A and B are shown apart, each in its own frame.
Chain A
Amino acid sequence: MQWETVIGLEIHAQLATKSKIFSGASTAYGAAPNTQACAIDLGLPGVLPVVNEQAIAMAVRFGLAIDASITPRSVFARKNYFYPDLPKGYQISQYEAPIVARGRITIDVDGQPRTINITRAHLEEDAGKSLHEDFHGASGIDLNRAGTPLLEIVSEPEMRSAAEAAAYMREIHRLVRYLGICDGNMQEGSFRCDANVSVRPQGTEAFGTRAEIKNLNSFRFIERAIEFEVERQIEIIENGGKVVQETRLYDPDKDETRPLRSKEDAHDYRYFPDPDLLPVAVSAAYVDVIRATMPELPRAKIARFVKTLELSHDDAAVLANDPDTAAYFERAIAAQPASAKQAANWITGELFAALNRDNLAIGASPIAPEQMGQLVQRIVDGTLSGKLGKQVFQTMWSSGRDADDIIEAEGMRQVSDTHLIEVAVREILEQNPDQIAQFRAGKDKVLGFLVGQVMKKTGGKANPALVNQLIKAALAN
């Protein structure tokens, strides 16, 4: 029996607003419990919600990035249920008229592009947190997070493998960071993914019963969790059983999914438009204003890097994967775009290594992008040898000084004066008659030794290509 996997993903991206979606409390991460839960977030008697303009703007940005239509009059609805992290006993969400309607996104699976449709994206408020450490038989509730804006992004159930699901998750993750609407920090819970997984016999149309796996917070986990779940479901069906529609959690230590306890039978959320809020009008003019501020999106950027800057697809993807890295790269080559390839090498090589070693994000790099650009340029224009370049890089890293500064101060200018090198070449050849004989006898490798000697003689500053050339010329005589 051939089985087909059917996966749909629901992603909750915490929007990077300063204040909450319906109140003026701060959304900053890490505050002491309940110090960022104002009267509105606590659901005190008599309080009322007021919509944060930036949440609307961010949702519209996302909608434009996935080619979706923006709903001109969208409505906030109450989703009613009881839970301690939900102070009002309802969550303000969107039901019938979500702000972003159907859109789509292209993902890469095994190097092949594939389009996944997105059913909708809507705004809602986040809940608080239950702390699971035991307060002598009680749970402690922190409502700082209550009211933080979320964008819930719902895909069509079009993914057919765990790898596709992971690719989709990565693409959305990159996109929301590019748009500046979400910091994508999965450890802190800014980006959460639920997967709806079912199987059906290959070639059939009807959907099988699905299980929902909640709170997958890493790309690796999502693949593993889905793979496990698919196998689990197939085994159940092949043994004559029925898959139960339920909510499950992935346990990374045991590498398995298990049902969530205490989730009750199907909720009746009794959705209705929130009477404390009026419909949100998003005009075409407003959408145009947002559209004008849209950044170049990652796939377009990669394509441009490959086409215009002649980077390899791999290099382009690495540089464009992160908006900060892409920005760094683009600033580095701004003055000299012709050195793009070398800049790519230096950034993905030396710079990344140093950042990793010192555990820094590229935004905290002690070498500014323009400085990096200057260093690369000096190597490209022959002022600096590659080898000395690495030394200069380390000095720049620890001192923050410009490459030109260091080159001057240390006298590291690569020597490309033919006459000077010829002098050194003559000396070295005089000192190494055996090697000359070996070379003339056919041992080409000796050339490298001789080049090295000349490099040493010139304090590493001679232009190696020129040295090579001049030695060969001298030996030819």
Chain B
Amino acid sequence: MSDSLPRSVARLADGLARGDYSSVELTRHYLARIAALDPQLNSFITVCGEQALAEAAAADACRAAGKAGRLTGIPYANKDIFCTRGVRTSCASRMLDNFIAPYDATAVEKLRAAGMVMLGKTNMDEFAMGSSNESSYYGPVANPWDVTRVPGGSSGGSAAAVAAGLAPMATGTDTGGSIRQPAAFCGISGIKPTYGRVSRYGMIAFASSLDQGGPMGHSAEDLALMLNVLAGFDPRDSTSIERADEDFTRALDAPVAGLRIGLPREYFDDQLDAGIRACVETAVRQLEARGAVVREISLPHVSLAIPAYYVIAPAECSSNLSRYDGARFGHRCANPADLNDLYCRSRGEGFGAEVKRRILIGTYALSSGYYDAYYRKAQQIRRLLRDDFTAAFKDVDVVVGPTTPTVAYRTGAHAKNPVTMYLGDIYTTAANLAGLPSLSIPAGFVDGLPVGMQFTAAHFDEARLLGLAHQYQRESDWHLRAPAAFN
């Protein structure tokens, strides 16, 4: 089965519809690949073999009854940050190693309702804090293109699983680039929707005003299909946007001609790896050849995005993570001497070093005397950034640039200095701060390692992004490449 199996969800769905294979067969196929290959990658924390097969059987029955939807029976993997009822939801943390979620996240409910089959929960940076998937309690994830290198983070497990063909699609979350950057490092596609598009109910919070859930897969078309399922107003999430339902595949075939592309001059400086620069510029020229109008733009405050992000995100997370105290769920230290001991030791034992660092910095940024200089200042910069983009989108439709300044680095490369790792978020964080939709698709290779190209559009303009990405993918094949060791 494996050789003839298409990688993309759109084609798999066609196959299911035609009866080329059943969902149970598909599911078995992926489960077998996970069992055989994941030991090298460590991309899964929990594999839900039995449950997946049961869901697959139900999907097949549903299809037999004539009730199947487009994605019924399609297997996928869920980042272990989404609450899944009855299944461990760990956020890759010792703190939640024993947490069996008592409810489903809204996103999970929607995927279930669409008949999709959950293969398991993927590995990630602990509590979504990191860009390399090295901070997981369950060990680092390897990049299928080179297992000595990181897959990116925090959705590293999802990215690796998709890249290695262990799942055709996966969910991710993106707070400062955590869908797009691992997608770039692993040679797949991933989209962070407009803030408020996908419900955050049940998506364990890291930084509430920045977090967004989104799909990761092999193609823009697949992303659009899964976004159709994931997106939508949720009354249980106060930050969820109320808009008429839309079909994100509607603009996939929109012509490139006349589309206005902006290249921020601030992105193409000497920090950017020359090889990546070349890939992106080549891609842009291809789009230009098809009629896109390309111009240079400026996002004058964009260099402040990471500093602002590394104040706002830790500040919000320091508060969001206060509920992990050993009292009602999660890790509890043995024999607490008193209340203070219960809290300090449960949290000290439960959280890893990166999480602790962010809690400490976040606490500091909010503390008396520092709030104005740090948190408030960062929120002011946030407005300036958003205004930069608003101005840019008067002249262009899509902002294009590299997703990351380098290709995937070796595991342990940034172990000594967290700041050097933070700098890798240089192109991605602005979209989170401004709440804009942004995606990454493969745009080439440097030294055999994938390069990602990022498209960002105005609020609610996902369809245009996916359309441009789809058109690019129709005339390029980077997204069709697979890592040799996992083919």
Indicate, yes or no, whether A interacts with B. Answer: yes
Kindly state the separation between the CA atoms of A198 and B72 in the bound complex, as whole angstroms. Answer: 70
Docked-complex contact A45 and B83, CB < 8 angstroms: yes
- The residues in A between 256 and 296 inclusive whose CB is less than 8 angstroms from any CB of B are 268, 270-272, 275-278
Q: Does B327 contact A (CB under 8 A)?
A: yes
Q: Count A-side interface residues using an 8 Å CB cutoff.
A: 28
| B residues less than 8 Å from A47 (CB atoms) | 201-202
Contact with A along B277-314 (1 / 0, CB 8 A): 00000000000000000000000000000000000000
Kindly state the separation between the CA atoms of A268 and B371 in the bound complex, as whole angstroms. Answer: 11
Please judge, given known A-B contacts A45-B89, A277-B238, whether A88 and B375 are in contact too, CB under 8 Å. Answer: no
| A residues less than 8 Å from B237 (CB atoms) | 48, 50
Question: Can you report 6 residue pairs joining A to B where beta carbons are below 8 Å apart?
Answer: A44-B323, A46-B101, A46-B204, A47-B202, A272-B366, A275-B207
Q: In the complex, what residue of chain A is closest to B321 when comparing beta carbons?
A: A89
| B residues less than 8 Å from A78 (CB atoms) | 319
| Extra A-B contacts (14), CB below 8 Å, given A45-B91, A48-B239, A87-B328 | A39-B103, A44-B329, A45-B101, A45-B329, A46-B101, A46-B203, A48-B237, A48-B238, A80-B319, A80-B366, A82-B343, A87-B327, A271-B371, A277-B238
Docked-complex contact A270 and B238, CB < 8 angstroms: no
Docked-complex contact A50 and B236, CB < 8 angstroms: yes
Kindly state the separation between the CA atoms of A276 and B103 in the bound complex, as whole angstroms. Answer: 19
Query: Out of A42, A43, A48, which one reaches B200, CB within 8 Å?
Result: A48
| A residues less than 8 Å from B324 (CB atoms) | 45
Q: Does B159 contact A (CB under 8 A)?
A: no
Contact with B along A238-249 (1 / 0, CB 8 A): 000000000000
**Main SS of chain A's interface residues?**
loop
Q: How far is the CB of B317 from chain A (nearest CB, A)?
A: 10
Docked-complex contact A89 and B323, CB < 8 angstroms: yes
Q: How far is the CB of A263 from chain B (nearest CB, A)?
A: 13
List the 4 closest pairs (A to B, CB-CB), nearest first: A89-B322, A275-B208, A270-B366, A275-B209
Docked-complex contact A46 and B367, CB < 8 angstroms: no
Q: In the complex, what residue of chain A is closest to B209 when comparing beta carbons?
A: A275
| A residues less than 8 Å from B319 (CB atoms) | 78, 80, 89-90, 270, 272
Query: Out of A44, A50, A80, A88, which one reaches B102, CB within 8 Å?
Result: A44
Docked-complex contact B204 and A278, CB < 8 angstroms: no
Q: How far is the CB of B342 from chain A (nearest CB, A)?
A: 9
| B residues less than 8 Å from A87 (CB atoms) | 323, 327-328
Q: Does A362 contact B (CB under 8 A)?
A: no
Query: Out of B315, B316, B327, B329, which one reaches A84, CB within 8 Å?
Result: B327
Q: Does A428 contact B (CB under 8 A)?
A: no
| A residues less than 8 Å from B103 (CB atoms) | 39, 44
Kindly state the separation between the CA atoms of A89 and B346 in the bound complex, as whole angstroms. Answer: 14
Docked-complex contact B327 and A46, CB < 8 angstroms: no
Docked-complex contact A82 and B238, CB < 8 angstroms: no
Q: Does B339 contact A (CB under 8 A)?
A: yes
| B residues less than 8 Å from A272 (CB atoms) | 315, 319, 366, 371, 375
Contact with A along B5-17 (1 / 0, CB 8 A): 0000000000000
Please judge, given known A-B contacts A84-B339, A270-B371, whether A276 and B204 are in contact too, CB under 8 Å. Answer: no
| B residues less than 8 Å from A275 (CB atoms) | 207-209, 239, 316
Kindly state the separation between the CA atoms of A396 and B371 in the bound complex, as whole angstroms. Answer: 68
Q: Does B105 contact A (CB under 8 A)?
A: yes
| B residues less than 8 Å from A141 (CB atoms) | 327
Q: Does B39 contact A (CB under 8 A)?
A: no
| A residues less than 8 Å from B375 (CB atoms) | 272
Docked-complex contact B205 and A46, CB < 8 angstroms: yes
Q: Does A407 contact B (CB under 8 A)?
A: no
Docked-complex contact A49 and B328, CB < 8 angstroms: no
Docked-complex contact B99 and A45, CB < 8 angstroms: yes
Q: Does A380 contact B (CB under 8 A)?
A: no
| A residues less than 8 Å from B235 (CB atoms) | 50
Q: Does B96 contact A (CB under 8 A)?
A: yes
Docked-complex contact A270 and B368, CB < 8 angstroms: yes
Docked-complex contact B322 and A50, CB < 8 angstroms: no
Contact with A along B185-208 (1 / 0, CB 8 A): 000000000000000111111011
| B residues less than 8 Å from A49 (CB atoms) | 238
Q: How far is the CB of A350 from chain B (nearest CB, A)?
A: 53
| A residues less than 8 Å from B315 (CB atoms) | 272
Q: How far is the CB of B213 from chain A (nearest CB, A)?
A: 11
Q: Does A379 contact B (CB under 8 A)?
A: no
Docked-complex contact A46 and B209, CB < 8 angstroms: no
Docked-complex contact B236 and A270, CB < 8 angstroms: no
Q: Does B454 contact A (CB under 8 A)?
A: no
Q: Does B174 contact A (CB under 8 A)?
A: no
Kindly state the separation between the CA atoms of A50 and B319 in the bound complex, as whole angstroms. Answer: 18
Size category of the B interface is 35 or more
Q: In the complex, what residue of chain A is closest to B342 when comparing beta carbons?
A: A84
Q: Does A470 contact B (CB under 8 A)?
A: no
Q: In the complex, what residue of chain B is closest to A268 when comparing beta carbons?
A: B368
- The residues in A between 51 and 91 inclusive whose CB is less than 8 angstroms from any CB of B are 51, 78, 80, 82, 84, 87-90
Kindly state the separation between the CA atoms of A47 and B323 in the bound complex, as whole angstroms. Answer: 11
Contact with B along A100-133 (1 / 0, CB 8 A): 0000000000000000000000000000000000
Docked-complex contact B201 and A278, CB < 8 angstroms: no
Docked-complex contact B325 and A45, CB < 8 angstroms: no
Kindly state the separation between the CA atoms of A82 and B363 in the bound complex, as whole angstroms. Answer: 13
- The residues in B between 340 and 379 inclusive whose CB is less than 8 angstroms from any CB of A are 343, 363, 366-368, 371, 375
Q: How far is the CB of B312 from chain A (nearest CB, A)?
A: 9
Q: How far is the CB of A75 from chain B (nearest CB, A)?
A: 13
| A residues less than 8 Å from B330 (CB atoms) | 45
Q: How far is the CB of A50 from chain B (nearest CB, A)?
A: 5
Kindly state the separation between the CA atoms of A42 and B366 in the bound complex, as whole angstroms. Answer: 24
Kindly state the separation between the CA atoms of A42 and B238 in the bound complex, as whole angstroms. Answer: 18
Query: Out of A39, A44, A82, which one reaches B322, CB within 8 Å?
Result: A82
Query: Out of A46, A51, A82, A84, which one reaches B202, CB within 8 Å?
Result: A46
Contact with B along A313-346 (1 / 0, CB 8 A): 0000000000000000000000000000000000
Kindly state the separation between the CA atoms of A43 and B363 in the bound complex, as whole angstroms. Answer: 20
| B residues less than 8 Å from A89 (CB atoms) | 319, 322-323, 325
Q: How far is the CB of A161 from chain B (nearest CB, A)?
A: 34
Docked-complex contact A88 and B322, CB < 8 angstroms: yes
Kindly state the separation between the CA atoms of A89 and B317 in the bound complex, as whole angstroms. Answer: 12
Query: Out of B89, B238, B316, B371, which one reaches A51, CB within 8 Å?
Result: B238
Kindly state the separation between the CA atoms of A78 and B235 in the bound complex, as whole angstroms. Answer: 21
| B residues less than 8 Å from A80 (CB atoms) | 319, 322, 366
Q: How far is the CB of A277 from chain B (nearest CB, A)?
A: 5
Kindly state the separation between the CA atoms of A141 and B325 in the bound complex, as whole angstroms. Answer: 14
Query: Out of A48, A268, A270, which one reaches B201, CB within 8 Å?
Result: A48
Q: How far is the CB of A464 from chain B (nearest CB, A)?
A: 70
| B residues less than 8 Å from A82 (CB atoms) | 322, 325, 343
| A residues less than 8 Å from B102 (CB atoms) | 39, 44
Kindly state the separation between the CA atoms of A47 and B205 in the bound complex, as whole angstroms. Answer: 8
Please judge, given known A-B contacts A80-B366, A272-B315, whether A45 and B323 are in contact too, CB under 8 Å. Answer: yes
Docked-complex contact A45 and B204, CB < 8 angstroms: yes
Kindly state the separation between the CA atoms of A43 and B339 in the bound complex, as whole angstroms. Answer: 18
Q: In the complex, what residue of chain B is closest to A274 when comparing beta carbons?
A: B208
Kindly state the separation between the CA atoms of A181 and B129 in the bound complex, as whole angstroms. Answer: 44
Q: In the complex, what residue of chain A is closest to B235 when comparing beta carbons?
A: A50
Docked-complex contact B205 and A90, CB < 8 angstroms: no
Q: How far is the CB of B243 from chain A (nearest CB, A)?
A: 15
Q: How far is the CB of A363 from chain B (nearest CB, A)?
A: 36
